[in-house]
């Protein structure tokens, strides 16, 4: 027998039907809260635009005895090393801001998001036939973009799964992503 004690607010509640007579009807109300995970921005290093030669020269030219090892306390030596190294890395490896959307589908991209926002703005003013026609065109374009993005994502997963050089752990993670696609979706192998 499955019993829920923690979430029950009321077990019996008065119920009035259409004819007006009151009856006590068993009623179960479960209360729970869901928390929406918001997107957040984070800084990541852009290693493609890094100046590795300048970084190497700066690290070689640094007088580590004077800058880092000028204290007898190991904590001070560690903090001096970290600060000096971070300052040098920040100078030669740029950062870029990335938005992390936790609830987003893996195939979503900025083009689809912008088109969806555009479609929603047009939908609010779609009270004449011209606006309604424009809304339908954008809606159909979004549907085709989403389908193409899904197919591209599935092809990418398939090619990663077929690759023999990936480690077994990554192969199982990809296989677990694939298993969530229903039979109504297009098959992986053969697309």
In 3-state terms, what secondary structure has residue 3? coil
Is 138 within a domain?
yes
* Domain count across the chain: 2
Calpha distance 151→72 (Å, rounded)? 60
Is 116 within a domain?
yes
pTM over 0.85? The answer is: no
In 3-state terms, what secondary structure has residue 29? coil
Is 9 within a domain?
no
44 and 86 co-located in one domain: yes
- For 129, residues 6+ apart whose C-beta sits below 8 A from its C-beta are none
Is 82 within a domain?
yes
- Which pLDDT score, from 0 to 100, does residue 65 have? 85
- Which pLDDT score, from 0 to 100, does residue 112 have? 95
- For 58, residues 6+ apart whose C-beta sits below 8 A from its C-beta are 88, 91, 92
Tell me the pLDDT of the chain (191 aa) as tens digits: 344 444 444 444 555 555 555 555 555 566 667 677 788 899 999 999 999 999 999 999 988 888 888 888 899 999 999 999 999 999 999 999 988 888 888 889 999 999 999 999 998 887 888 889 999 999 999 999 999 999 998 888 888 888 888 888 888 888 887 766 655 555 555 44
Q: Which of 99, 120, 142 is the last residue of a domain?
A: 99
Range of the domain at 108: 104-178
Calpha distance 55→89 (Å, rounded)? 7
Is 184 within a domain?
no
Is 10 within a domain?
no
């Amino acid at each position: 027998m499955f019993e829920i004690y923690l979430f029950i607010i009321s077990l019996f509640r008065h119920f009035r039907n259409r004819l007006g007579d009151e009856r006590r009807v068993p009623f179960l109300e479960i209360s729970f809260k869901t928390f929406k995970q918001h997107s957040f921005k984070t800084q990541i290093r852009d290693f493609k635009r890094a100046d590795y030669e300048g970084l190497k020269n700066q690290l070689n030219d640094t007088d580590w005895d004077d800058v880092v090892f000028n204290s007898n306390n190991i904590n001070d030596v560690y903090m001096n090393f970290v600060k000096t190294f971070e300052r040098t890395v920040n100078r030669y490896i740029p950062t870029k801001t990335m938005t992390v959307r936790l609830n987003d589908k893996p195939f979503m991209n900025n083009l689809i998001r912008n088109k969806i926002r555009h479609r929603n703005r047009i939908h609010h003013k779609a009270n004449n036939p011209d606006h309604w026609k424009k809304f339908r065109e954008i809606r159909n374009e979004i549907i085709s973009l989403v389908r193409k993005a899904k197919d591209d994502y599935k092809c990418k997963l398939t090619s990663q799964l077929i690759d023999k050089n990936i480690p077994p752990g990554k192969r199982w993670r990809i296989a677990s992503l694939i298993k969530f696609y229903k039979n109504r979706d297009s098959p992986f192998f053969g697309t």
